[in-house]
Amino acid sequence: MASQLGNQEAERHGGAGRRLRTSAFGAIDLGTNNCRLLVARPEGSTFRVIDAFSRIVRLGEGVSTKGELSDQAMERTIAALRVCAGKLRHHQVNRVRSVATDACRRAANCDAFIARVARETGIDLELISTREEAQLAIAGCLPLIQDDARWALMFDIGGGSTELVWMRCQGSSRELIGWTSLPCGVVTLAEAHGGDQVSPEIYHKMVSDIGAMLSPFDAEHEISQQTAGGETQMLGTSGTVTTIAGVHLNLPRYDRSRVDGLQLSFDAIDAVSAHLIGLDQKGRAAIPSIGPDRADLVVAGCAILDAIRKQWPVGSLWVADRGIREGMLMDMIHPCRPAPTFAS
């Protein structure tokens, strides 16, 4: 089993220091839409990625209406997880953490699916809460928060949910003030409103519905009052924001090195969103940074992003092609690193 490889690897090394330097660590993030893997080795205060895998599996397809994972979605996901298991074996990983998020949290047959995954792939999936999902995303994105930011608003637009985190910053210290998880992501929103040709009326309703979900979080923490001061960094980690960045840069193929850490003005995002909304699904699929697998979801992602930007018009967005997997790797490789404190 993939989760047993760590013990075998540890026994082959003579000392803890040498073992940490030579060991590989794996992190799997199984979301509503994607199955992602990173394999990394320690390098200084961070890590060096030695292998990666990402596949759109749409595990949460239909869960919002039927309440359980479909046979087809489970088959697609297990096929992807078999690839992950092969990569973990190949790199003789020291330790693996594999988490499942919103689709499994919602599905009545989640326990049976997790048991099947362990039986057929050797991967032990851990169902995590929305709070831990947000914490891991924070841990993965911390290096992108600028030292001159007084406040940071981070969000992760997923397939079935959207997590938001509000932080107070002072130099290199980070204090988590509040977080929330909206029960809506690109898959659930697209299933509710359609993902082909979206009319202006439907798009406006999508934005309005998400805005109503954001208002209580804003009021609870008085975020709008703080962001008005102009010292807030907005940071987004999701397929939506990386896709918009790729379209903005007109990339012939996706290039993480050009997207991760990019700062986009709201005007630039408006231009990309307007272009994508004006296309049908076929037109969006022809864009290299989108492709056929995301073409029916990207408009829903634009709507969620528009609602966030309307609620907190800070003027620009930092794009993060990192998140839960990086957070898990940092926790495993550097467990004693400085982490955000939590407001009492």
Are 143 and 97 in a shared domain?
Answer: no
Compute the average pLDDT of residues 208-226: 96
Residue 125 has pLDDT above 80, yes or no: yes
Centroid of chain to Cα 282: 25
Residue 25 sits in a domain whose CATH number is: 3.30.420.40
Q: Are residues 146 and 71 in the same domain?
A: no
In this prediction, residue 18 carries a pLDDT of 52
Percentage above 70 pLDDT, the chain:
92
Cβ–Cβ < 8 Å for 40, 50? yes
Q: 175 and 280: one domain?
A: yes
- pLDDT of 14 above 50: no
Asked if residue 30 and residue 65 are part of one domain, the reply reads yes
Rounded to the nearest 10 degrees, how much is the dihedral formed by the CA atoms of 246, 323, 42, 54?
-60
Q: Are residues 119 and 201 in the same domain?
A: no
Asked which of 9-23, 67-81, 145-159 is least confident by mean pLDDT, the reply is 9-23
> In this predicted structure, what is the pLDDT of residue 116?
98
295 contacts: CB under 8 Å, gap ≥ 6: 195, 281, 282, 284, 285
Q: pLDDT higher for 17 or 241?
A: 241
**Average pLDDT across the chain, whole number:** 89
Is 338 domain-assigned? Answer: no
Helix (H, G, I), strand (E, B) or coil at 45: coil
Cα separation, 101 vs 77, in Å, equals: 13
- Statement: residue 268 has pLDDT above 90: yes
The stretch 62-70 carries a mean pLDDT of: 92
Lowest pLDDT segment from 20-34, 56-70, 207-221, 275-289: 20-34
Give 147-197 pLDDT, tens digit per residue: 889 999 999 999 889 999 999 998 778 888 999 999 999 999 998 887 677
Q: In the predicted model, is pLDDT for residue 343 greater than 80?
A: no
Confidence at residue 64, expressed as pLDDT on a 0 to 100 scale: 83
Q: Which residue has the higher pLDDT, 334 or 36?
A: 36
Nearest to 181 by CA among 134, 222, 117: 134
With both helix axes pointing from N to C terminus, report the angle between 186-193 and 298-311 in degrees, rounded to the nearest 10: 110
pLDDT at 16 over 70: no
Is residue 82 included in any domain, yes or no? yes
What is the DSSP track for 125-163?
Answer: EEE--HHHHHHHHHHHHGGGS-TT-SEEEEEEE-SS-EE
Most confident of 44-48, 116-120, 274-278: 116-120
Indicate if 280 and 197 belong to the same structural domain: yes
Q: Does residue 340 have a pLDDT over 70? A: no
Q: Is the pLDDT of residue 7 over 90?
A: no
**117 and 38, same structural domain?**
yes
Nearest to 269 by CA among 312, 302, 294, 304: 302
Q: What is the pLDDT of residue 341?
A: 63
pLDDT of 3 strictly over 70: no
* pLDDT score of 336: 77
Q: Is 93 a domain residue?
A: yes
pLDDT of residue 2: 44
Question: For residues 8 and 92, what is the distance between their CA atoms, to the nearest angstrom?
Answer: 8
pLDDT in tens, 304-329: 999 999 999 999 999 999 889 999 99
| pLDDT above 90: percentage of residues in the chain | 71
| CA distances for 296 relative to 143, 186, 245, 276, angstroms | 32, 9, 18, 11
**101 and 176 co-located in one domain:** no
259 and 171 in a single domain? The answer is: yes
Q: State the residue range of the domain holding 65.
A: 2-128
What is residue 81's predicted lDDT score, i.e. its pLDDT?
98
